[in-house]
């Protein structure tokens, strides 16, 4: 089955700095790569996603890049704010519609 | 509101007992996923159903089982409960579109299970 690895497990940045979280996957047939944000005590919610035919996607301060050859994708958050503090999960969907999540990254933005 | 409903929201039970968690997916979603999230941990994939049939199995214990009914709601059954089973159990649903890569997973608010 699909193996999704996410790094780092924790990340602390100063407000205004950038944060980068990386995920690697094993199934080359995977075709959809979403990122979820889970605030304390709440459900995970989709913040951005990218499909296999696109290399980069940006939405205001967040962006995702995908390298299909190397089988890794990254979440980039610029100009971080305290409200960006949360746990972020990457996920990978393959052709069988199986979605697997990374272990999560706890991001702390210090004011 | 994601459109995915989980009941109950909270559940406290004793070791050795059996509980059933329920999930109603978004209207039209055929896939249902179950995840376990222990305190400060990631999302552990348990099992996936698609249109009533089991599609994929993750790290699900033999004491746990699930099913998806004809109306597409799903139940996760946890038996012989242990203290370590205390966790937040999430259900997520997605539509299985013919075209690939068109399927966001929407999460329910979770059921917090406490085994005492």
pLDDT in tens, A35-60: 999 998 889 999 999 988 889 999 99
> What confidence category does residue B96 fall into, taking pLDDT thresholds of 50, 70 and 90?
low
Q: Which secondary structure element, helix H or strand E, spans residue B41, and what is its range?
A: none
Report the SS3 class of residue B111. strand
Check residue B105 and give its pLDDT: 86
Chosen from A25, A44, A48 to mutate, greatest number of chain B CBs within 10 A: A44
Task: Decide if B105 and A34 are in contact by the 8 Å CB cutoff.
Answer: yes
pLDDT along chain A (111 residues), means of 10: 88 97 93 92 91 88 95 97 96 80 94 91
A29-68 residues touching B, CB cutoff 8 A: 31-32, 34, 36, 42-46, 49, 51-52
Q: What pLDDT digit, counting tens, does each position of B33-76 carry?
A: 999 998 767 888 899 998 899 988 888 999 999 999 999 999 99
Chain A contacts of B58, Cβ < 8 Å?
1, 100
């Amino acid at each position: 089955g699909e193996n999704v690895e996410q790094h780092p497990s924790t990340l602390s940045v100063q407000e205004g700095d950038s944060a980068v979280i990386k995920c690697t996957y094993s199934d080359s047939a995977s075709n959809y790569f979403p990122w979820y944000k889970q605030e304390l005590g709440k459900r995970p919610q989709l913040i951005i996603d990218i499909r296999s035919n696109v290399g980069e996607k940006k939405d205001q301060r967040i962006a995702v890049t995908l390298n299909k050859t190397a089988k890794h994708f990254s979440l980039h958050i610029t100009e971080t704010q305290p409200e960006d503090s949360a746990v972020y999960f990457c996920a990978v969907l393959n052709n069988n519609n199986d979605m697997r999540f990374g272990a999560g990254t706890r991001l702390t933005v210090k004011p | 509101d994601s459109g995915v409903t989980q009941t109950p929201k909270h559940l406290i039970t004793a070791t050795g007992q059996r509980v059933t968690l329920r999930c109603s997916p978004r209207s039209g979603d055929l896939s249902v996923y179950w995840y376990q999230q222990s305190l400060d941990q990631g999302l552990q994939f348990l099992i996936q159903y698609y249109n009533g049939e089991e599609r994929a199995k993750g790290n699900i214990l033999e004491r746990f089982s699930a099913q998806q009914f004809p109306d597409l709601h799903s139940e996760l059954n946890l038996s012989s409960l242990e203290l370590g089973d205390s966790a937040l159990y999430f259900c997520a649903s997605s539509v299985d579109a013919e075209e690939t890569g068109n399927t966001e997973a929407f999460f329910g608010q979770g059921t917090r299970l406490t085994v005492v």
